[in-house]
A and B are shown apart, each in its own frame.
Chain A
Amino acid sequence: MTVVTALIVLGVLALAFGLVLGFAAVRFRVESDPIVDQIDALLPQTQCGQCGYPGCRPYAEAIANGDEINKCPPGGQATINSLADLMGVEAKPLDAAHGEEDVKKVAVIREDECIGCTKCIQACPVDAILGAAKQMHTVIAHECTGCDLCVEPCPVDCIDMVPVPVRPDNWQWDLQQIPVKNVESSH
């Protein structure tokens, strides 16, 4: 008799926990694919499309589905290495077919040449260009990712990509760079 009671009690318990777990699985399901989020977090978010996908997130999805990890030039070797760590694969050099690693740049519109055509606004993946039809346009420098996509569409070629300026607060303490010079006495 005791054996039967024990069996019944255990059976009821198993059922109850099964229900709780089943409910939790449905109720607290993680919506998006966590691996895509993790990959996306490693990509530089320049949104330049050099990888062949329309932005970083689509490339993250492609990697999750087995694409190569060495197609992102803005991220360069550092990104490839961390992607290799995450995916548990061998790091490889950047695929030159997609471009080369370059210094960080920012777009600058030569404002007196701008004709206000709004073509660059439509090209910018992060809405970093400000302007309206027939008005002079300008780039919000700290929002610009340096993706280069606005340069091509400009009909009067008035957008330049310039390297991000070095300021005292983002300077890298490279003492070799200091132009130490001979100091002469002035008496």
Chain B
Amino acid sequence: MSAATKAIEAGHIWTFPGGIHPPERKDRSNSTPIEVLPLAKQFIVPIKQHSGPVGDLLVAVGDNVKAGQPLTQVGINNALPVHAPTSGTVSAIGPGRIAHPSGLTDTVITIDADGNDEFYSFAPLADYTSLSRAELLDRIRQAGVAGLGGAGFPTAQKLALQRPLDYLIINGVECEPYISADDRLMREHAQTIIDGTEILLHIAGCEKALIAIEANKPEAIAAFEALLPNYPQLALRVVPTKYPSGGEKQLIQLLTGRQVPSRGLPIDVGLVMQNVGTAYAVAQAVLNGKPLIERVVTVTGDNIAKPGNYWVRIGTTVAELLNQCGFEPVADSKQEQRVIMGGPMMGFTLPDLDVPVVKITNCILVPSNQELAPAAEEMNCIRCGACADVCPAQLLPQQMQWLAKAKDYDGLEQQNLFDCIECGACAYVCPSEIPLVHYYRKAKAEIRNIAREKAKAEVARERFEARQERLEREKQERLERHRKAAEARKKAQAEAVAQGGDNPQDAVQAAIARAKARKAAQAAAAAKQNQEGDDE
């Protein structure tokens, strides 16, 4: 065993550069158990809630569905299905606002609940080790499990990469302020998370898992400490409280001292990471056959009367959820009430409250203006360098800001813009209130667009050239056909003459002579008639 592996085994915790300590404010929501809210009357289920292709529809308007029934299918493009959150009738399928910072629409399935909440039949599994790896992966995919921590990458797809693994890391760090959904889940369902972790280990063919929890969650740590002695292949790692220690690359650095290469994946350094919520969902999917139709959402902020954590069915609208949690908008009607999906660092302001909660929604934050000041006027960069000090990815935020404003995309790529995890630490410390992350996101979108345009231009060029070739070929073929036809005609003629038949040329002459004769006869007849007319 190498020294580095020994240190990992011994539980050494490394550090990562930068980071900040924003006010945590988790105590507002983490003291009460996760509550189940009454079912909504209507659910809006977007068919795309993950990264990757979407599945084909399995239902039509008017169909009756049961809770957990698939609405889209895996199909040929290996999509991730979505499921009905409760029983009821599909009342509409079409474009609807989705939970996206753009406020744009996407295809959504609207389900009117019948209130009975009847469940689709699920097939529980007594012994998952009897299934093959592929069958287990299929079970997870069919259940619609996507990474619940971040971008919603399909879990089965992440596990399908067959490369040697040293450790599976279960991420229960939850470093973003306000959010306590994973914290409550770990306190109340540590056993299910452990079951899920074992399944993940089995599928990944990996020996050992590290469960990482931030030091500010003593109850969750205690819950795992009580259970872990029975599981020698699982180890608990407590990491110091610092934002963003829950970032994938940051946590890997903390637990193993390894650095994921720029634009690389954790698997490049022999690791794979899953969120605790995902481990829970995997256990539900594999052991109970239950698809992902609900998740824990933290609802918090000064303007919420009953902050806490709730089991929310996917597709519940934010408006419905806030109503049930005692939403009190700011009294001053001139001011806008912001509702943020996600945390204060990485979340985005919702354009509208009729958007649904989706698989990756971990928090709805309704802050007052005192606790979270609205964005202030942007001032000029004073080159203080504070942003570079806190950047966990060791980038130069200031430099990137100048480049982004100058639209110097090559320069931005040289500065490794795509390593930016959009954690917002730089914008948090910037004394000039520059919305730095906003500039990076815009620049990233622009760079991706340019790449797309380039790829499209490449296709257009190929198609243009293919068409030019086709036109040229068709012209040649046409000429060739004409030439062949003329030759064949000549040959047939020559043969006919040789066999002593009429020379077609003669036939033509004869026809011309006949026509002439007929014309002459007609002229004569006409003249005769004229004469007769004159006679009368």
Contacts and interface: CB of A to CB of B under 8 A. Distances in A.
A166 interface: yes
Contacts of B468: 55
Interface in B415-460: 435, 438, 441-442, 444-446, 449, 452-453, 456-460
A160 interface: no
A56 B463 CA distance: 12
A12 B353 CA distance: 86
A45 B461 contact: yes
Nearest to B438: A175
Interface in A145-179: 145, 166-168, 170-175, 177-179
Nearest to A140: B463
Interface in A117-146: 125-128, 142-143, 145
Contacts of A47: 460, 464
Contact of A178 (B102, B444, B453, B467): B102
A106 to B, nearest CB: 11
Nearest to A54: B468
A175 B348 CA distance: 10
B336 interface: yes
A181 interface: yes
Contacts of A172: 442, 445-446, 449
Contacts of A127: 463, 466-467, 470
Contacts of A178: 101-103, 349, 351
A183 B460 contact: no
Contacts of A145: 456, 460
Interface stretch (B19-27, B32-40, B184-192, B321-329): B321-329
B333 interface: yes
B352 interface: yes
Contacts of A56: 461, 464
Contacts of B336: 180-183
Contacts of A55: 464, 468
Contacts of B465: 57
A113 B467 CA distance: 27
On chain B, which size bracket covers the interface? 35 or more
List the 10 closest A-B pairs by CB distance, nearest first.
A45-B457, A126-B463, A45-B460, A171-B102, A173-B442, A173-B441, A45-B461, A183-B337, A168-B100, A145-B460
B104 interface: yes
B339 interface: yes
Interface string A96-122: 000000000000000000000000000
Nearest to B320: A186
A170 B449 contact: yes
A184 B337 CA distance: 8
A4 B161 CA distance: 69
B464 A168 contact: no
A171 B329 contact: no
Contacts of A170: 445, 449, 452
A182 B445 contact: no
Interface in B319-372: 319, 323, 327-329, 333, 336-339, 349, 351-353
30 contacts: A40-B461, A45-B458, A55-B468, A56-B464, A57-B464, A125-B467, A126-B464, A127-B466, A142-B456, A168-B98, A168-B102, A171-B104, A173-B442, A173-B445, A175-B101, A175-B438, A177-B102, A178-B102, A178-B349, A179-B351, A179-B352, A180-B351, A181-B336, A181-B352, A182-B333, A182-B336, A183-B329, A183-B336, A183-B337, A185-B327
Interface size class of chain A, counting residues whose CB lies under 8 Å from the partner chain: 35 or more
Contacts of B444: 173
Given A143-B459, A178-B101, A182-B333, A171 B464 contact: no
Nearest to B100: A168
A186 B458 contact: no
B106 interface: yes
A46 interface: yes
Contacts of B445: 170-173
A75 to B, nearest CB: 10
Given A173-B101, A175-B101, A183-B336, A45 B106 contact: no
Q: Which of A43, A170, A182, A185 has the most CB of B within 10 A?
A: A185
Contacts of B98: 168
Interface string A35-65: 0000010011111000000011100000000
Contacts of A183: 329, 336-337, 339, 353
Nearest to A184: B329
B31 to A, nearest CB: 25
Contact of B328 (A128, A171, A182, A185): A185
Nearest to B326: A187
Nearest to B329: A185
B390 to A, nearest CB: 22
A56 B458 CA distance: 12
A40, A47, A173 — most chain B CB neighbours (10 Å): A173
Interface in B94-153: 98, 100-104, 106
Nearest to B407: A78
A166 to B, nearest CB: 6
A167 B319 CA distance: 24
Contacts of B458: 45
